[in-house]
Structure 1
Amino acid sequence: MKSAVENLTPTRVKLNVEVSLDELKPSIDEAYKTIAGQVQVPGFRKGKVPNRIIDQRVGRGYVLETAINEGLNGFYQDAVRETGIRPLTRPEVEITEVPDPASNEGQLVFTVELDVRPEIELPSYEGLEVTVDPIEAGDADIEKALDELRGRFGTLKAVDRPAKEQDFLTMDLVAKVDGEEIDSAADLSYQVGAGTMLEGMDEAVTGLSADESATFATKLAGGEHAGEDAEVTVTVKAVKERELPEANDDFAQLASEFDTIAELREDLARQAAEGKRMEQGVQARDKVLEKLMELVEVPVPESVIEEQLEQHFNSESGHAAGEDHDTEEHRAEVRENTEQAFRNEIVLDAIADKEELGVDQNELIEYIVSTAGQYGMDPNQFAQLIDQAGQVPMMVGEVRRRKALSKVLELAKVTDTNGAEVDLSEFVRPQGEEAPAADEAAEAPAADEAAEDKK
């Protein structure tokens, strides 16, 4: 078989494939077997009809057509492997020549057009320089963490005053469309400022005391009247505020493993510093990726963008094209995000290839467990779902790209705005992996420590 690639654009190619009659013969033999099992000829058992009788009954041309239809995908896959292209879209096939049924001479010739992953020239990514915010975990961060912890053990107490931000309300709602009541609810609980109900709710309830009402205009978010303009009347039945326990040794023993409030504050300070360090690592990672992408051009096939737009706006799991959010601005946002994600994928895959990065089972399991947590799913159930959907290779690719970005980050020069050099070794080291000893660090392959499991 002969195959050649013709580049139409940086992301689209045309495959020219020639298959000789000898190479087509196994498919022809298989076609005869298929047809022999389908036709009924007096004097012959089903499946035992000789080839010459089949030629007489259905014609040699039909046999060749069947052979080509059944063998075409295999010839295409062979051409893909032979040429080394990496397809992105379904192939558009055109058959330009078939063997002559009468003379039994000639060959199969077909062309295939499809979009492919572009080939890029990687820039030097060692020593990229970025600047990040310094780690500044002060008393305010500690007090915030302490108040959040106290809030978990707080109790609600009714107050006789107008509602304000962070208060908890018990309330009734009545919704009307064009003056007709379409829904109501009683004894709802809501925290002022949460923004989890209707648009305009927070403004309407702020300042109301128990047994007071307010009516506001809003757009309904769910149900059969979703998207319609409505008037909603809210009646406050009770206003409550959260009463926090006193921050003392007794609270420290109740809320933690520490005996004193001083020990608890010290631990909260450590956690706040770790949180700031993590934020700093994420900022460095994002800036390094941005700096890297500025150094390389990656063409994006229009088919990739169109497919994502179709999935986002028109698929059953996506959004209908007629909904209010399907605007030019939203489509432009989806297009931009798709283009950027595709470029990132191409560049990070190329780096992973160059650095010969792999993904071991533990890294994949850790990523699956982390992703399952983001969706609130059991890791085993999530793993079964992605396996059934054939998405395990996609997960492996994502972990590999994370390791590639972690490698670039490891090689980068990161300083904070105060000019201090930032050590990101803890950020780029996989969870559970011990720091290498000083005399081993120089010998340890950097790629083995470049997996980024913290995002």
Structure 2
Amino acid sequence: MTVKEVKNLENSTVEMNVEVKGDVFKAAVDEAFRKNLSKMNVPGFRKGKAPRKLVEKLYGEGIFFEDAVNALYPKAYEDAVAEAGIKPVARPEIEITEVDGEGFSFKATVVVKPEVKVNAYKGMKAVKTVYNVAESEVKAELEHLQKQNERTIVVDRASKDGDTVNIDFDGSVDGVPFDGGKGENYDLVLGSGSFIPGFEPQLIGKTAGEEVQVDVTFPEDYHAENLKGKQAVFACKVNEVKEIELPELDDEFAKDVSEFDTLAELKKDIRKKLKEQKERQASNELDNALIDALLENTEVEVPDVMVQQKVDSMCAEFEQRLAGSGLNLKTYLQYTQMDEASFRKGFEADALKQVRVRLALEKVVELEGIVVSEEEIEKEYKEIADAYQMPAEQIKAYIPQEDITMDCAVGKAVELIRNQAEITEEKASAKKPAAKKETEGEKKPAAKKPAAKKTAAAGKEAAGKE
């Protein structure tokens, strides 16, 4: 294999003219002859027994050239890429330009990794936000734990907004019952808006055993055609009135929902976890600010094929998330009234930025001569395997070591940029968004609701849950 010429074209495209001659081509032709001879009919000879010269005279001298070329050009292309020192980012376009008994020549046109110029990446200035944990945030976490461990209890009093009333109901329009208008032992939260407007307020102030006539009008846009705008009467009986009971915030509560023996210890742990979470948030924000600054100092023309490859990856990840929710892309597009082209278009800006970030960081890896040890590579494989709950060897089969190595190197590049940046700290303003909650306690079993009879589901439908 000989690389005869390498041309740099526009848009990070390279054209290579490659020649394959001599013994290697002749050997490939010989192999093609041996593989195909048994398929060829030559008068006077059994299949597989005709001499080569006779076969070539009958079918033409170049009968085996195509198979020989197809066998040789993939390896010849790989060797040419290595010799030319280019880094393809897409499949090449191969054109066979010449072939004869001595060998063949081909032209390979391929998009390669673009030239990247990073003007500055050391000493960049950035602000790291310092987040404090307010007492109100600790209180909110405790209230969240309380809510998780609430239970519903039966009370002997009149119902009020927010209570749950267990009811039997039987609806009619002009004295005629309608489908789905009847339910028994149905738990209705007053004020939830579960039933049609005006239904729930008429059950406030009622006690267990009380019978109530509820007069309502179905909305004009109600989904059942036969009920739109109709006045209805529901004969209701209140079976039970129930309220939510929150556990007391004391040491017993701490023991129930955590590993701690006292409420003070639980509060301390909540504060610690919130602080750690906010530190992670601040670090992520700092890294993002430094990356944005790096991009401002980076000059690169990204080939569209690299952007589309990233879009492909992002779309695939999105589809996986949809599948996890029991949906598919076709249903999602129908629901959002989008076509596939506009769906993909929505990813392009983020895809372009991600590609630019990666190219800039890989350039820093190159400039700094960053290397990754075998131990670091194995650690990365293990972390991925643990995250996906798969054997490390299986992960290695999916992700080439070359990719893992560069991922680790890029991570080191980010660390280098951070360590050499001029960072000032600034306290978070009151308007800054609070860090996302992460602390959760163990949920205690809630009191079981009475099982509703089969007609209750239909009753809820008619009474207003659209």
- For this structure pair, what is the TM-score category when the shorter chain's length is used for normalisation? 0.5 to 0.7
1:325-377, Cα deviation, whole Å (9 max, x unpaired): 3498755431101111111222223333431235421222113323x2xxxxx
CA distance in 2, matches of 1:295, 1:239: 66
Task: Decide whether aligned partners of structure 1 residues 191 and 32 sit closer, same or farther in structure 2, where only a CA change above 3 A counts.
Answer: farther
Answer whether contact 2:372 2:405 (CA < 8 A) is retained.
no
Q: Find the counterpart in structure 1 of residue 380 from structure 2.
A: 363
Matched, 1:119 2:101: no
Answer whether contact 1:253 1:259 (CA < 8 A) is retained.
yes
CA distance in 1, matches of 2:220, 2:250: 44
Answer whether contact 2:32 2:64 (CA < 8 A) is retained.
yes
Q: Name the Cα RMSD after superposition.
A: 4.7
Q: Find the counterpart in structure 1 of residue 260 from structure 2.
A: 258
Task: Decide whether aligned partners of structure 1 residues 274 and 310 sit closer, same or farther in structure 2, where only a CA change above 3 A counts.
Answer: closer
CA distance in 2, matches of 1:338, 1:193: 45
Task: Decide whether aligned partners of structure 1 residues 132 and 147 sit closer, same or farther in structure 2, where only a CA change above 3 A counts.
Answer: same
Matched, 1:343 2:356: yes
Amino acid at match of 1:411: Q
Residue 52 of structure 1 aligns to a residue whose secondary structure is helix
Of structures 1 and 2, the larger Rg is shown by 2
Task: Decide whether aligned partners of structure 1 residues 293 and 214 sit closer, same or farther in structure 2, where only a CA change above 3 A counts.
Answer: farther
Task: Decide whether aligned partners of structure 1 residues 193 and 401 sit closer, same or farther in structure 2, where only a CA change above 3 A counts.
Answer: farther
TM-score, normalised to structure 2's length? 0.66
Task: Decide whether aligned partners of structure 1 residues 150 and 214 sit closer, same or farther in structure 2, where only a CA change above 3 A counts.
Answer: farther
Q: Find the counterpart in structure 2 of residue 425 from structure 1.
A: none
Amino acid at match of 1:367: I
1:58-113, Cα deviation, whole Å (9 max, x unpaired): 321111222112222221111111112222222111222222xxxx45x4221111
Q: Find the counterpart in structure 1 of residue 2 from structure 2.
A: 2
Tell me, which stretches of 5 or more residues in structure 1 are unaligned? Answer: 173-180, 195-200, 220-230, 373-378, 420-455
Q: Find the counterpart in structure 1 of residue 135 from structure 2.
A: 139
CA distance in 2, matches of 1:61, 1:158: 93
Task: Decide whether aligned partners of structure 1 residues 262 and 326 sit closer, same or farther in structure 2, where only a CA change above 3 A counts.
Answer: same
Answer whether contact 2:20 2:104 (CA < 8 A) is retained.
yes
TM-score, normalised to structure 1's length? 0.67
Residue 358 of structure 2 aligns to a residue whose secondary structure is helix
Task: Decide whether aligned partners of structure 1 residues 328 and 149 sit closer, same or farther in structure 2, where only a CA change above 3 A counts.
Answer: same
User: Which structure is richer in relative contact order (CA contacts within 8 A, separation 6 or more)?
Assistant: 2
Q: Find the counterpart in structure 2 of residue 424 from structure 1.
A: none
Q: Find the counterpart in structure 2 of residue 441 from structure 1.
A: none
Tell me, which stretches of 5 or more residues in structure 2 are unaligned? Answer: 170-177, 204-213, 229-233, 321-327, 429-466
Q: Find the counterpart in structure 2 of residue 177 from structure 1.
A: none
Task: Decide whether aligned partners of structure 1 residues 153 and 38 sit closer, same or farther in structure 2, where only a CA change above 3 A counts.
Answer: same
Deviates more, 1:243-252 or 1:392-401: 392-401
Amino acid at match of 2:63: Y
| Aligned match for 2:147, one of 110, 129, 151 | 151
Percentage of matched positions with identical amino acids: 25
Residue 404 of structure 1 aligns to a residue whose secondary structure is helix
Answer whether contact 2:147 2:246 (CA < 8 A) is retained.
yes
Task: Decide whether aligned partners of structure 1 residues 400 and 203 sit closer, same or farther in structure 2, where only a CA change above 3 A counts.
Answer: farther
CA distance in 2, matches of 1:274, 1:383: 33
Amino acid at match of 2:382: I
CA distance in 2, matches of 1:84, 1:398: 21
Task: Decide whether aligned partners of structure 1 residues 390 and 204 sit closer, same or farther in structure 2, where only a CA change above 3 A counts.
Answer: farther
Amino acid at match of 1:149: L
CA distance in 1, matches of 2:241, 2:344: 43
Task: Decide whether aligned partners of structure 1 residues 202 and 46 sit closer, same or farther in structure 2, where only a CA change above 3 A counts.
Answer: farther
Q: CA deviation at 1:283?
A: 0.9
Answer whether contact 2:149 2:247 (CA < 8 A) is retained.
yes
| Aligned match for 1:130, one of 120, 123, 126 | 126
| Aligned match for 1:407, one of 416, 425, 437 | 416
* Aligned counterparts, 1:90-109, within 5 A: 90-99=91-100, 104-105=101-102, 107-109=103-105
Q: Find the counterpart in structure 2 of residue 437 from structure 1.
A: none
CA distance in 1, matches of 2:361, 2:92: 26
Q: CA deviation at 1:290?
A: 1.2
CA distance in 2, matches of 1:193, 1:356: 62
Answer whether contact 1:192 1:206 (CA < 8 A) is retained.
no
Answer whether contact 1:32 1:54 (CA < 8 A) is retained.
no
CA distance in 2, matches of 1:130, 1:56: 77
